Structure 1
Amino acid sequence: MSIHMENVGIAVRDLEEAIAFFTDLGLTVLGRDTVRGEWASTAVGLDGNHVRIALLGVPDGSGQLELFEYLHPEAIEAAPTQPHEIGMHRVAFRVEDLDAALEIAARHGCRPVRGVATYEDVYRLTYLRGPSGILVMLAEQLGGTGD
């Protein structure tokens, strides 16, 4: 059996705010849609499932992020996931220039959770809280791009 990763989906409080954050970091909007109907309710397991979605891609084509804002049922606020909790954890991106990426994040009110660290002279990296409390890891590979 073959398997292929389609995307990572994240529910957000404000779709436009999340799109602005991730596109400023360098992702591109591949498409937008409003999804509802019996098929969506069945697939997701929520009666009356109705969401606005945006599919974003990274420039090198290595991954996609699906952001969705619930119109129905009403979204439920939850405490942001902590790094040591079981469950959906974070979305991670390798960036060419971590300092530049952090400047972009700061314009959206997003700053490192604690600080920037260096992992074995391989990566400079940090976790930050993005829109809707999304935990985002940004990492700059030291000594080259790793492509």
Structure 2
Amino acid sequence: MPIKLENVGIAVRDLEAAIAFFTDLGLTVLGRDTVSGDWADTAVGLDGNHARIALLQTPDGEGRLELFEYIHPDAIETEPTQPNEIGMHRVAFSVDDIDAALKIAARHGCHPLRGVATYRDLYKLSYVRGPSGILVMLAEDLTKT
């Protein structure tokens, strides 16, 4: 059976702020919608499910994020995910210039958890705490320079 990753879905506190962050990093908005109704209740497993959504795509056309902001039921605030927690962990992006990407992130108030690390002279990488506490890994491939 063939299988393909369609997207990674992330619930956010502020859809517009999350869109601004990810589009500044280079993703493009493919579409927006407001979803609700019986089909949404069934698919998601929540009664009265109602959300504003946006689908974003990476410049290479391969990666997609679906961001959603709940209208109903109320979103549940939780502590930000830590790198060693079980479950959904992070979303990772390759970037041409990690320093430039970190400057973009900083304009949105998003900063590295600790700094920038170099992995075996292959990658420079850093985890940043993105909008709504999302862990975002940025990685620069050093073999392409």
TM-score by length of 2: 0.99
Matched residue, 1:66: 66
> Is 1:46–2:46 an aligned residue pair?
yes
Distance in 1 (alpha carbons) for counterparts of 2:70 and 2:26: 25
Matched residue, 2:143: 143
Distance in 2 (alpha carbons) for counterparts of 1:124 and 1:24: 20
Using the aligned pairs only, state the percent identity.
Answer: 79
Distance in 2 (alpha carbons) for counterparts of 1:2 and 1:80: 34
Q: State the shift of 1:143 in Å.
A: 2.6
Distance in 1 (alpha carbons) for counterparts of 2:46 and 2:143: 47
> Over aligned residues, Cα RMSD in angstroms?
0.7
Structure 2: give runs of 5+ residues left out of the alignment: none
Matched residue, 2:18: 18
Distance in 2 (alpha carbons) for counterparts of 1:4 and 1:62: 10
Distance in 2 (alpha carbons) for counterparts of 1:36 and 1:125: 38
Matched residue, 2:2: 2
Distance in 2 (alpha carbons) for counterparts of 1:38 and 1:94: 38
Q: State the shift of 1:62 in Å.
A: 1.5
Matched residue, 2:31: 31
CA offsets 1:25-52 (integer angstroms, 9 cap, x no match): 0000000000000000011000000000
Q: State the shift of 1:106 in Å.
A: 0.4
In the alignment, residue 116 of structure 1 is paired with which amino acid? Answer: V
> Is 1:110–2:110 an aligned residue pair?
yes
Structure 1: give runs of 5+ residues left out of the alignment: none
In the alignment, residue 144 of structure 1 is paired with which amino acid? Answer: K
CA offsets 1:85-133 (integer angstroms, 9 cap, x no match): 0000000000000000000000000110001000000000000000000
Consecutive aligned runs of 4 or more in structure 1 exceeding 4 Å deviation? none
In the alignment, residue 122 of structure 1 is paired with which amino acid? Answer: L
Distance in 2 (alpha carbons) for counterparts of 1:4 and 1:101: 28
> Is 1:88–2:88 an aligned residue pair?
yes
In the alignment, residue 53 of structure 1 is paired with which amino acid? Answer: I
Distance in 1 (alpha carbons) for counterparts of 2:73 and 2:93: 31
User: What secondary structure, in the 3-state scheme, does the structure 2 residue paired with 1:47 have?
Assistant: coil
Q: State the shift of 1:61 in Å.
A: 0.9
